[in-house]
Structure 1
Amino acid sequence: MPPKAWARSKRRVCLGLLLLTLGLFLSNSPGWAARTSSKPADTRNTLPPFSFSECLALLDEDPSGVEDYVASHATAGDERAVRHCSALSNVLLGNAPLAAEELDRLARDRRRGPQETEDSSPEERADVAADAARAWLAADQPGKAVASSDYGLELEPESVVLHLLKARAFLRLKEPEQALGVLSALGNDPILSSETHRLRASAELALNQPEQANRDVALSLAADPDDPAALLDRGIIRQRLNDLAGAQADWQRVIDLAPDSHEADLARQDLDVLAADPDALPPSHETVSSGMATASHAATP
C-alpha cells in the first residue's frame, strides 16, 4: 500500500475508535439519556384500565361524559364492557332505539376479546338482554322488549328481573292476561316481590278486577310503604272502589314523597280530575322508569 493511502486508512481507524468510545461514554451518562428521551411517552400505557363499575357511576352523574371516559382509558380486553356502558349512555341521552339494537347484538354475541378479562357467560349476556328490554321500553317498543326478555330467559330461565320486564312489556301492549301469566310463573318468589305484586295489580285493574288488584297493591305496599308508583296505583284502585278520600290521600302522599317525579305529575293530574268530576275514572298509569341509570341496573326491572 502506498504510504499516503496507508496513512489515510490509519487516521480513519483511529477516528472510528474515538467515536465508538465517545458513544459508549455518552450512552451510559444519565444526562445524555434524559436529553435523548424527549420522544412523547405512550400515555395509553400509563392510564388506568377501563372499569365498568366506574362507567356506570358516571352514567348517574354525566351520561355525556361516558364517551370521553372510554376514549381516555385503556380498553384492550374490555370491548364488551365498553360497548355495554356506551349503549346505556345512549339510552339516557335520548338514543334508546339505537342503544337497544346494540344491546341486543351484544347479548347474542358469544365471543370474547383477546384477553381473559371479558365475560360472555350466559348470565352476563342475560343481564345485557335485560338492559336491551329496558331500552326498548324506553323507546316505546314493547313488542321488541318482549323479544329481548324471551332471549334473556333462554339464557337464564329463573331470572325474576327478566320475567318482570316481560310482564311490563305485555302491560304496555295492553295484554294484561299475558302479563298475569308471566307473573304467575314467579309464584311467591320473595325477590322483588313488591314490584311483582304491583304489576299484578296493574294487570288485574286492566281486567276490571279492582278487588284482586287492591289485595295485590296492599302486598306491594306492605313490602315498600313509600313506593310512589304503588301509591299512585292504589289511588286509582281506591277510586274504582268508590273510596274517593283514600284515593285523594294516596295521590297527595305521592306528591309529598317525590314532588319532582313523573309519579307526582300523574298524581296531580288525577287530583285535578277528581276535583273536577269525582265520577271520572283516571286511567292506570305506566310509571316505572327504564332503570338504566343506576349501577344496580341488572337487578332493577
Structure 2
Amino acid sequence: MTAGQRKSAHLSGSPTATTLMLLASLTTGACAARAAATVAQPPFVLSECLALLDDDPSDVDDYVSSHMATGNERAIGHCRAIADVMTGDALAGAEQLDHLAHEAARHEAGADDDSTEERANVAADAARAWFAAAMPGKAADAAGYGLTLTPESIVLLLLKDRALLQLDQPQTVIRDLTPLADNPLLAAETHRLKAMAEVQTNALTQAKTDIEQSLALEPDDTTSLLERGIIRQRLNNPEGARSDWEKVVSLEPDSHEADLARQDLTVLASDPDALPPSDATGHASVASLPPDAH
C-alpha cells in the first residue's frame, strides 16, 4: 500500500491502533462509572426497613426499590410481610412470615438471611401476625415451630403461652412459666401472663403475688393494672380495684385497656359484687406481645 493509499484508508474510517486504544479507554471508563454508581448505592438493611414501619408502612416499597436487593430476598419479604400486617392485611402477612420461617436455607451455611436464629425471629413475627389476624391456634403453631429452632427462647415461649391462654389452656401456661420465676429476662411479662393464667384457674392468691411482681418491675403497665383490679375485685377489695382501673384510664385514656377499665368501673359502680366484664370475657388477657429478643 502506497503512502497515499494509507492516508485514504485512514480518512475513510479504518481503525488504527491509536483509535482502538481510545475506544478501549472509553469503554473501560464507562464500565468503571457504572460500577462506581452501583457501589455508591446503599444496600438493603432490614433494620432500616423495619424502622419505617413506625412512621408509614406504605414507605416500605419505596425503600426496597431504591436500594440494592441482591442477596436480601428473605429480608425484603420479611419487611414487606410486616408492612402488610400493619396496613391491615394481617392474614397475608402472617402467611408470608410463616412461609419464610419454614423455608429451608438456600444460601451458604451461616448466611445472615437464612440462619436458624433469623428463621426463629421470623417465626416470632409470624406468631404476632396470627394474633393480629385473631387466629391464636396459628399463633401457637408458629411460636411452637420457632421453639424447635431456638428452644431456649423466652420470647417464643411467651408467645406460645399467650396463644394457649386464649385457647383456654391455663394449666399448660402455668406449667411452662413456673420454672421462669427467678429468670430476669422479660420477667414482668412472664409474671403478668402467669397471673392471667392463675386467674383463669381461680388461683387468686398466687395470681396476686405474680401481678404484684410484674408491677414492681413496670409500675405503670396498664395491662397489669387492669389485671390487678380484676384480682382485687375477686378478692373482695373493690376500692383497690377502683384505684387500679382509674389509674389505667388516667395513664392511657385512648387505649383498649382504658375502654375495658371504664366497663369495669361502670359495673363496679352499679354492683360492687359483680364480676368485672373484662374478666368474664377474657379481654383482659389481650396484652402487648413481647418484643423481638431471645
Bucket of the pairwise TM-score, normalised by the shorter protein: 0.7 to 0.9
Q: Tell me, yes or no, if the aligned pair for 2:112 and 2:118 is still in contact at 8 Å.
A: no
Could you say if the C-alpha distance between residues 139 and 127 of structure 1 is closer, same or farther in structure 2, counting changes exceeding 3 Å? same
Give CA-to-partner distance per residue, 1:28-78, whole Å, 9 cap, x none.
8x9xx7xxx8xx979766431111111111011111111221122111011
One-letter amino acid matched to 1:229:
T
1:174-185 correspondence runs (5 A): 174-185=168-179
Q: Distance in 1 between matches of 2:79 and 2:44?
A: 11
One-letter amino acid matched to 1:204:
E
Q: Distance in 1 between matches of 2:79 and 2:41?
A: 19
Could you say if the C-alpha distance between residues 206 and 47 of structure 1 is closer, same or farther in structure 2, counting changes exceeding 3 Å? same
Could you say if the C-alpha distance between residues 160 and 26 of structure 1 is closer, same or farther in structure 2, counting changes exceeding 3 Å? closer
Q: Distance in 2 between matches of 1:139 and 1:191?
A: 27
Structure 1: unaligned runs, 5 residues or longer: 1-5, 292-296
Corresponding residue for 1:123?
117
One-letter amino acid matched to 1:80:
R
Q: Tell me, yes or no, if the aligned pair for 2:105 and 2:115 is still in contact at 8 Å.
A: no
Q: Tell me, yes or no, if the aligned pair for 2:90 and 2:132 is still in contact at 8 Å.
A: yes
Give CA-to-partner distance per residue, 1:148-185, whole Å, 9 cap, x none.
11111111111100110111001111221122122234
1:1-301 correspondence runs (5 A): 13-18=6-11, 19=13, 20=15, 24=19, 27=22, 46-113=40-107, 118-282=112-276, 283-284=278-279, 285-290=284-289, 297-299=291-293
Could you say if the C-alpha distance between residues 26 and 127 of structure 1 is closer, same or farther in structure 2, counting changes exceeding 3 Å? closer
- RMSD between superposed Cα atoms in Å: 2.9
Q: Distance in 2 between matches of 1:52 and 1:249?
A: 43
Give CA-to-partner distance per residue, 1:78-105, whole Å, 9 cap, x none.
1111111111111111111211111111
Q: Tell me, yes or no, if the aligned pair for 2:181 and 2:191 is still in contact at 8 Å.
A: no
Could you say if the C-alpha distance between residues 169 and 25 of structure 1 is closer, same or farther in structure 2, counting changes exceeding 3 Å? closer
Q: Distance in 2 between matches of 1:175 and 1:116?
A: 37
Could you say if the C-alpha distance between residues 68 and 290 of structure 1 is closer, same or farther in structure 2, counting changes exceeding 3 Å? farther
- Higher RCO (Cα < 8 Å, 6 or more apart): 1
Q: Distance in 1 between matches of 2:42 and 2:106?
A: 21
Q: Distance in 2 between matches of 1:115 and 1:58?
A: 30
SS at match of 2:53: helix
Q: Tell me, yes or no, if the aligned pair for 1:87 and 1:103 is still in contact at 8 Å.
A: yes
Q: Distance in 2 between matches of 1:217 and 1:181?
A: 17
Q: Tell me, yes or no, if the aligned pair for 1:135 and 1:290 is still in contact at 8 Å.
A: no
Could you say if the C-alpha distance between residues 115 and 67 of structure 1 is closer, same or farther in structure 2, counting changes exceeding 3 Å? farther
Q: Distance in 2 between matches of 1:114 and 1:176?
A: 42
Q: How many residues get paired?
A: 282
Deviation at residue 26 of structure 1 after TM alignment:
11
Q: Tell me, yes or no, if the aligned pair for 1:79 and 1:113 is still in contact at 8 Å.
A: no
Give CA-to-partner distance per residue, 1:220-279, whole Å, 9 cap, x none.
111111111100100111111111111111111112212222212211221122222222
Stretch moving more, 269-278 or 188-197: 269-278
Q: Distance in 1 between matches of 2:110 and 2:212?
A: 48
